[in-house]
Chain A
Amino acid sequence: MPFIPNTNLQRIQMLAEIGMDEDDLFSDIPSELRCGELDLPEPLAEQELRRLMSSLAERNRTDLMSFLGGGFYDHFTPAALDAIISRSEFYTAYTPYQPEISQGTLQAMYEYQSAICRLTEMDVANASIYDGGTAIYEAIMMAMRITGRRRVIMDQTVNPIYRKMICSYTTNLGIELVETNPEDGKASRDQILENLKKDTAAVVLQNPNFFGMIDDYSDIVEMAAKHGALSIASCYPISLGILKTPGEMGVDIVTGEGQSLGLGLSFGGPYLGFMATRKKYMRKLPGRMSGRTVDDQGREGFVMTLQAREQHIRREKATSNICTNQNLCALTALTYLSLLGKQGLREVAQSCADKTGYAKERLLKVPGVRLKYPSRWHFNEFVLELPVRADQVIRRLLHRGVAAGFPLAEYYPDMEMSLLVALTEKRTKAEIDFFAHVLEISL
């Protein structure tokens, strides 16, 4: 039997030595609760399994030339990354409950926290949250704990998938969620100001926003602070290679999806939510954290710290129910950022932006195609306004092997002609040219 080492003879000997029978092992489970033989597929040998999995994998179209983004991006990852995170000392360990034999995980957590702080220009970060959406949810809960208020403003330029998640999570908690309508593809200052009331806990923003527009939220941060509300910004980490940071804007809680930092798209997960804040809110931050300390001989080392916030101690009064989360994904992000380094991250970000600039130029030459929000403020994604319905165009281009982008009408019903197009450093000039070509002949 695979993965079970004891032989039948060993089992018989073990049972005899402890004075038990085979039947004794489950004698506490009443017979009427026992189940019959399970109806499961026949077991496969490794060779058969690999054949099955590869035939399943081949039925997924990863061969398309993809301009699909929407918060989840196809970036290049160096081979050294996989070599590092495939070390089983990392991936077959668990939560570092015993720091003496977990310094690898603990130091990596600390370094990851530091890398997130350096990227966002914030003071403290936790060691991960499930994904970018749950990170916003946790940030909202944190803002409510800090302010003691229960009203949250969320701009509609925040990823609609995350907004749906937050709606679900807050259903049972008596939270008032107010969504503000964007203006020319950006957060409307007037609407946010209008909705900022005495009971507002937080304003939730995204940068670059779902339409790919970049924005300087310093003014909204200031407005929110004047009303005693916190500002939360969900950020795309690659963009922080060159763009103004949430730290500089004065944002109180920064969140984001870390998938682009070396994680596969993997059909939606596992991903990585990151979360950082100001020093004064450190003890309100949910999730695990690693801290630097010393051992009894004065040697430096790391431990899980500030655990008094957590569920295994606080139970129903904990800051969150989150415990184990995405440690290996955080290690992946740290490794990615280390391999790219200070220069490399900047270059990747610049390359995304440059190719986006070129793609805009090229696609706008296609007759009838225009930018939904004409602006030079796009990082790696923009909205094309097409002369026909976007879903028709997508269907036609799929036949030519191109995933043209995302039809915004899925989440914004009045945007039937709008196509969200994303670029990464992996797309080549030839691919962009081909995209423009097939778009032109498809219209």
Chain B
Amino acid sequence: MKLIFDKSIPGRRGMRPIRPQVETKADFPKHMLREKPAELPELSELDVVRHFTELSQKNFGVDGGFYPLGSCTMKYNPKVCEHVVRYPGFFDLHPLLPQLPTGQTLVEGALEVLYEMDVMLREICGMAGFTMQPLAGAHGELTGTMIMAAYHRDRGNKKTTMLIPDSGHGTNPASAAIAGFDVKTIPSDESGLMCMEALEEALDDSVAGLMITCPNTLGLFNSRIEEICRKVHDVDGLVYCDGANLNAMLGVCRPGDIGFDIVHVNLHKTFATPHGGGGPGAGPVGVAEKLVDFLPISVIRKANDGSFYLDYNLPKSIGYVAPFYGAFGVIAKAFAYLRMLGAEGLKRVSNNAVLNANYVRKKLESHFDLPFPRTCKHECVFSAARHKDEYDVSATDIAKALIERGFHPPTIYFPLTVKEAMMVEPTETESRETLDAFIEAMIEIAKLAESDPEQVKKCPTNTPVSRLDEVAAARKPDVASLPEEVAGG
């Protein structure tokens, strides 16, 4: 399909120009002006609408079908949440208003949303305080590790090491590194959980903390998690809960009660805000009482008269991690979702998410290897290692065969601790009928891998493009279409 730039017709235009209204002409010195106009497309409004409509039709979203992408919690995004954040009172609200004199009275509704969201998240996670500022899960991790650094600095601790299990998300070590920590990886044991002996060996005075995903990325809940937290606390370390998998625990148990000091919540996973083709997300961070003073500037508080205000006077704070109060538009959607569910609804979310994952696990365990055959939480991880060895059919091939059959594949090749991993997270918003159709497709693919592996390996054949040459893309990168004279020169 042609690039939008290549559809351009000189002189054609979309938007009609506005009348000048004022006679004044800005008069900049010529050398301050750009020599040539930016080579943007010249198209009618319909041209643009058709272009993007056609692009959208080459995309697979949750609204289009089952999207069991493990660790990403691709649940349904309720339409009303999209609707309410477009109210002008939210959509057009300038973030600097509260910094004007008496300004906090100009944004009371927005401050109430943020404050009430904070209260609800504290209750759901069992934490003493939250910041809404982090703009994504990984940004929450960075905020959390910066809070760890501030805590240790405040106590005069010289701690440099961050412990991270080998099954953790890649963002964990990257976030810890840019908060200034040295990363030490803790291996998993044969049960798929963090190896306790290796943890104990690694725990010394240099340990600033442990970052751990709970339930872990295999979908397993570590029954010894409370003990793990205690051991880390014994060396004055802090325990960080990567909350990517919170969907499994809603209303069942709370990170704060377990002993976690810090948790980040992915609003775009657990609380149903859309993933946007890769953002925007939001990653609010909750902390235990002893860390509340280190939360980023500013913090929203409720005055005795019931009004809300922003507190900037936080001497121990780690400072600013976002320009304002977080991804408000995302937070407001999650707020709306939570107000529709209530406590009972949240419990049903985790309950059905876990049931659906176990249903898929049990129905497929005789067709695919399940490295850790026990009750899972919100997701289960299969391995295609046997199919790879015996029929040369890899996790990628199986993923592409699922695409051929109208499903989005699971997450593949993660966690790194499982060979040819296929991580299935159905979520609670999928029906039994959908799960059955997926299970049937998986079984069909498993059989086809044995009988006619070439049929699997040539998938997909019914998509706008088939398998793309990623090696060539990286070797000779073409990452922008530039105007002709630039590209030629």
Taking the nearest CB of chain B, how far is it from the CB of A305, in angstroms?
A: 4
* Interface segment, one of B36-44, B196-204, B387-395: B36-44
Residues of B within 8 A of A167 (CB): 319-320
Q: B55-93 interface mask toward A, CB cutoff 8 Å, 1 = contact, 0 = none?
A: 111111111100101001011111010111111111111
CB–CB B223/A28 < 8 A: yes
CA of A306 to CA of B479, assembled, Å: 10
Taking the nearest CB of chain A, how far is it from the CB of B5, in angstroms?
A: 6
CB–CB A50/B42 < 8 A: no
CA of A16 to CA of B281, assembled, Å: 37
Q: Which residue of B lies closest to A103 (CB)?
A: B58
Residue pairs across A and B with CB atoms within 8 Å: the count is 687
CA of A428 to CA of B19, assembled, Å: 10
CA of A82 to CA of B20, assembled, Å: 26
Beyond A53-B87, A89-B56, A172-B149, is A353–B82 a contact (Cβ under 8 Å)?
no
Residues of B within 8 A of A325 (CB): 136, 278-280
CB–CB B101/A395 < 8 A: yes
Beyond A305-B473, A311-B170, is A52–B339 a contact (Cβ under 8 Å)?
yes
Q: Which residue of B lies closest to A207 (CB)?
A: B32
Residues of A within 8 A of B245 (CB): none
CB–CB A95/B101 < 8 A: no
CB–CB A124/B112 < 8 A: no
Q: Which residue of A lies closest to B321 (CB)?
A: A168
CA of A265 to CA of B89, assembled, Å: 10
Q: A365 at the A/B interface (Cβ < 8 Å)?
A: no
CB-CB nearest 6 A-B residue pairs = A268-B324, A57-B89, A168-B319, A43-B342, A172-B180, A328-B276
* Interface segment, one of B233-241, B327-335, B444-452: B327-335
Most chain B CB inside 10 Å of its own CB: which residue of A43, A98, A99, A310:
A98
CA of A167 to CA of B254, assembled, Å: 33
CB–CB A111/B3 < 8 A: yes
CA of A153 to CA of B4, assembled, Å: 39
CB–CB A268/B59 < 8 A: no
Residues of B within 8 A of A134 (CB): 135, 139
CB–CB A128/B59 < 8 A: no
Q: A124-160 interface mask toward B, CB cutoff 8 Å, 1 = contact, 0 = none?
A: 1101101111100000010000000000000000000
Q: B179-209 interface mask toward A, CB cutoff 8 Å, 1 = contact, 0 = none?
A: 1100100000000000000000000000000
- The residues in A between 33 and 53 inclusive whose CB is less than 8 angstroms from any CB of B are 33-35, 37-46, 49-50, 52-53
Q: Which residue of A lies closest to B39 (CB)?
A: A118
CA of A62 to CA of B89, assembled, Å: 6
Q: B318 at the A/B interface (Cβ < 8 Å)?
A: yes
CB–CB B408/A98 < 8 A: yes
Taking the nearest CB of chain B, how far is it from the CB of A92, in angstroms?
A: 3
CB–CB B363/A18 < 8 A: yes
Q: B322 at the A/B interface (Cβ < 8 Å)?
A: yes
Q: A437 at the A/B interface (Cβ < 8 Å)?
A: no
Taking the nearest CB of chain B, how far is it from the CB of A167, in angstroms?
A: 6
Q: B120 at the A/B interface (Cβ < 8 Å)?
A: yes
Contact of B432 among A6, A92, A119, A311 (CB under 8 A): A6
Q: Which residue of A lies closest to B361 (CB)?
A: A18
Q: B437 at the A/B interface (Cβ < 8 Å)?
A: no
CB–CB B359/A62 < 8 A: no
Q: Which residue of B lies closest to A130 (CB)?
A: B135
Given contacts A108-B55, A130-B322, A131-B322, 12 further A-B contacts (CB under 8 A): A20-B375, A38-B347, A43-B341, A74-B92, A93-B277, A94-B72, A133-B323, A266-B329, A291-B474, A312-B414, A328-B276, A342-B39
Q: B455 at the A/B interface (Cβ < 8 Å)?
A: no
Taking the nearest CB of chain A, how far is it from the CB of B128, in angstroms?
A: 15
Q: Which residue of A lies closest to B5 (CB)?
A: A114
Q: A186 at the A/B interface (Cβ < 8 Å)?
A: no
CB–CB A35/B277 < 8 A: no
- The residues in A between 336 and 374 inclusive whose CB is less than 8 angstroms from any CB of B are 337-347, 350-351, 353-358, 361
CB–CB B94/A72 < 8 A: yes
Residues of B within 8 A of A90 (CB): 56, 59, 61, 276-277
Q: Which residue of A lies closest to B180 (CB)?
A: A172
CB–CB B354/A57 < 8 A: no
Q: Which residue of B lies closest to A325 (CB)?
A: B279
CA of A70 to CA of B5, assembled, Å: 32
Q: A222 at the A/B interface (Cβ < 8 Å)?
A: no
Q: B176 at the A/B interface (Cβ < 8 Å)?
A: yes
Residues of B within 8 A of A132 (CB): 323
Q: B354-392 interface mask toward A, CB cutoff 8 Å, 1 = contact, 0 = none?
A: 111011001100000000001101000000000000000
CB–CB A265/B28 < 8 A: no
CB–CB B61/A89 < 8 A: yes
Residues of A within 8 A of B45 (CB): 78, 80, 339
Contact of A244 among B32, B257, B279, B354 (CB under 8 A): B32
CB–CB A425/B352 < 8 A: no
Beyond A4-B349, A29-B221, A244-B31, is A342–B42 a contact (Cβ under 8 Å)?
yes
- The residues in B between 1 and 57 inclusive whose CB is less than 8 angstroms from any CB of A are 1, 3-5, 8, 12-15, 17-18, 20-29, 31-35, 37-43, 45, 48-49, 51-53, 55-57
Taking the nearest CB of chain B, how far is it from the CB of A315, in angstroms?
A: 4
Q: B126 at the A/B interface (Cβ < 8 Å)?
A: yes
Residues of B within 8 A of A125 (CB): 479-480
Q: Which residue of A lies closest to B471 (CB)?
A: A293
Taking residues whose C-beta sits less than 8 angstroms from the other chain, chain B's interface range is 35 or more
**A-B contact list, 11 entries, CB within 8 Å:** A4-B428, A38-B347, A39-B123, A104-B277, A267-B324, A289-B479, A291-B474, A296-B469, A310-B170, A314-B170, A322-B139
Q: B263-277 interface mask toward A, CB cutoff 8 Å, 1 = contact, 0 = none?
A: 000000000101111
CB–CB B120/A40 < 8 A: yes
Residues of A within 8 A of B469 (CB): 293-296
* Interface segment, one of A188-196, A197-205, A402-410: A402-410
Q: B284 at the A/B interface (Cβ < 8 Å)?
A: no
Residues of B within 8 A of A25 (CB): 351, 354-355, 358, 375
Residues of A within 8 A of B75 (CB): 3
Taking the nearest CB of chain A, how far is it from the CB of B457, in angstroms?
A: 11
CB–CB B18/A351 < 8 A: yes
Most chain B CB inside 10 Å of its own CB: which residue of A94, A123, A245, A306:
A94
Q: A308 at the A/B interface (Cβ < 8 Å)?
A: yes
CB–CB B100/A321 < 8 A: no
Q: A250 at the A/B interface (Cβ < 8 Å)?
A: no
Residues of B within 8 A of A24 (CB): 375
Contact of B277 among A11, A270, A331, A350 (CB under 8 A): A331
CB–CB A339/B94 < 8 A: no
Taking the nearest CB of chain B, how far is it from the CB of A129, in angstroms?
A: 10
Contact of B466 among A19, A100, A164, A329 (CB under 8 A): A100
Q: B438 at the A/B interface (Cβ < 8 Å)?
A: no
Q: Which residue of B lies closest to A288 (CB)?
A: B278
Beyond A107-B55, A171-B149, A243-B32, is A341–B14 a contact (Cβ under 8 Å)?
yes
Q: A218-261 interface mask toward B, CB cutoff 8 Å, 1 = contact, 0 = none?
A: 00000000000000000000001111110010000000000000
Beyond A44-B340, A118-B39, is A14–B48 a contact (Cβ under 8 Å)?
no
Beyond A80-B45, A90-B277, A93-B61, is A320–B14 a contact (Cβ under 8 Å)?
no
CB–CB A35/B254 < 8 A: yes
Beyond A268-B95, A357-B25, is A118–B473 a contact (Cβ under 8 Å)?
no
Residues of B within 8 A of A410 (CB): 99
CB–CB A267/B467 < 8 A: no
Q: A323-336 interface mask toward B, CB cutoff 8 Å, 1 = contact, 0 = none?
A: 11111110100110
Most chain B CB inside 10 Å of its own CB: which residue of A49, A169, A269:
A269
CA of A339 to CA of B347, assembled, Å: 45
Residues of B within 8 A of A3 (CB): 75-76, 78, 272, 428-429
Q: B142 at the A/B interface (Cβ < 8 Å)?
A: yes
Residues of A within 8 A of B432 (CB): 5-6, 10, 13-14
